[in-house]
Structure 1
Amino acid sequence: MKNIIKKIWFYIKFIIFSPLLIAYYFTTEKELIQKDVIKWVECLSMEQNSLIIQLIKLLQQAPEYRNLYYFRLLKGNFLAKITMYVLRIIYRPCGYFFLDNSCNIGSGLFIQHGFSTIIMADMGENCWINQQVTIGYKDKTGRPKIGNNVRITAGAKVLGNIEIGDNVVIGANAVVTKNVPPNCVVVGIPAYIIKRDGEKVKQELR
């Protein structure tokens, strides 16, 4: 009986959120959206299913993902944008996560517990951002450029016209205002390197 109720409830939710697929079918950004879905399914250890089913589940269960979905649609063709603006009236984006529309972001961005998180930066592929993270301007000189496979953990701040290399991990509550080379782990206020290319170090950022 429980399984029957569970299935019925799933189909009800599927019907409720299925209009969001209209913009997906219209958009030119399908490939990016598909790669995002694959990443989120992997990170959330979701049950394997068809991509459309997984997309609907994410749109209904992960409000942070909905913001990313709207961001992808906004970067696409005119028809998808118009549809997205209409859908946003009914299916509201997550209010506590801000992703600036001017950003350029590679596929596979995952937002874990995006509470009070702000992203104003250009980012590479397969990045992972935690809660209460701020990425953006320090002054008028510019904003961060973030490489591939970068993880920025809870409470970290990445500010200013700086570059974060590929395969970097930024520790919780770290404050980064200088360039970070690839393959590093940085922590602290101000941030410094504690691991580089797999070796333990203690180096200041320059």
Structure 2
Amino acid sequence: MRKISIGFKSVLFFPIIGLLYLLIGTRRRNLIQSDAGKWSEWKKGPYGFTGLIYLFAVYKEFRSLYYYRVGPAGNLFSGIIKGESCLYLRCPKIGAGFLVQHGFSTIINADSIGENCKVFQQVTIGYNGDRRPTIGDNVMICAGAKVLGGITIGSNVIIGANAVVVHDVPDGSVVCGVPAKVIGRVAFVDNLK
């Protein structure tokens, strides 16, 4: 029954995805292709345009990311085919390969986020006063974590569940606690796990 539902949704979504995809420029199209490829690898789904349609039909979080990537044109359809209602993407720049485990009650409002980052549910990334964070490549931010203020999170960093990060985090660190402290080192973060 689920396969029939996904197939039916995919047929309905195809014109919207196709139209929005044609309206955007090459840079945005490349970001969407990179996101879809990373999501397909993570969810073990189909690749290419078929994968894009599948992800759009099945995952509300991917829909929200797709609308964010498309830009203002995405607002035309986001009210008809909704993304995750409690996922707020308010960054000027989010790098390619961005993953959202569960978008429920998640606010992502950084100056920039690097490539291949993964965010879990109920994460808050945002202001502490008048500044917001900058996040490097290959960062995993686990459930309930808070990353606040004008700080820099290095590349290849894991932020543990419910951590409150208010100070800079160096590359290759594992942090947790309130306030977050470095508890270990890691060479590379595999965001597909």
| Same fold per superposition (TM over 0.5) | yes
Gaps of 5+ in 2: 188-193
Q: Is the 8 A contact 2:6 2:54 kept in 1?
A: no
Looking at structure 2, the residues matched to 153 and 134 of structure 1 have their Cα atoms a distance apart, in angstroms, of 10
* Residues 157-172 of structure 1 aligned to structure 2 (within 5 Å): 157-172=146-161
Give the root-mean-square deviation of aligned CA atoms: 1.7
Q: CA deviation at 1:10?
A: 4.5
Gaps of 5+ in 1: 75-80, 199-206
Question: What corresponds to 1:117 in structure 2?
Answer: 106
Looking at structure 1, the residues matched to 163 and 116 of structure 2 have their Cα atoms a distance apart, in angstroms, of 21
Looking at structure 2, the residues matched to 134 and 173 of structure 1 have their Cα atoms a distance apart, in angstroms, of 10
Query: Does the alignment pair 1:134 with 2:124?
Result: yes
Cα-to-partner distance string for 1:61-120 (whole Å, 9 max, x where unaligned): 11011111111111xxxxxx34x23222311222111111x4211100000011111000
Looking at structure 1, the residues matched to 94 and 79 of structure 2 have their Cα atoms a distance apart, in angstroms, of 24
Which of 93, 97, 120 is matched with 1:108 structurally? 97
Which of 64, 78, 86 is matched with 1:67 structurally? 64
Cα-to-partner distance string for 1:7-57 (whole Å, 9 max, x where unaligned): x555422211112221112211110000000111111122x34x1111111
Looking at structure 1, the residues matched to 37 and 186 of structure 2 have their Cα atoms a distance apart, in angstroms, of 28
Using the aligned pairs only, state the percent identity.
44
TM-score by length of 1: 0.83
Question: What corresponds to 2:171 in structure 1?
Answer: 182
Question: What corresponds to 1:40 in structure 2?
Answer: 39
The number of equivalent residue pairs is 183
| Stretches of 4+ aligned residues off by more than 4 angstroms | none
Looking at structure 2, the residues matched to 36 and 128 of structure 1 have their Cα atoms a distance apart, in angstroms, of 11
Question: What corresponds to 1:21 in structure 2?
Answer: 18
Which of 87, 91, 101 is matched with 2:81 structurally? 91
TM-score by length of 2: 0.89
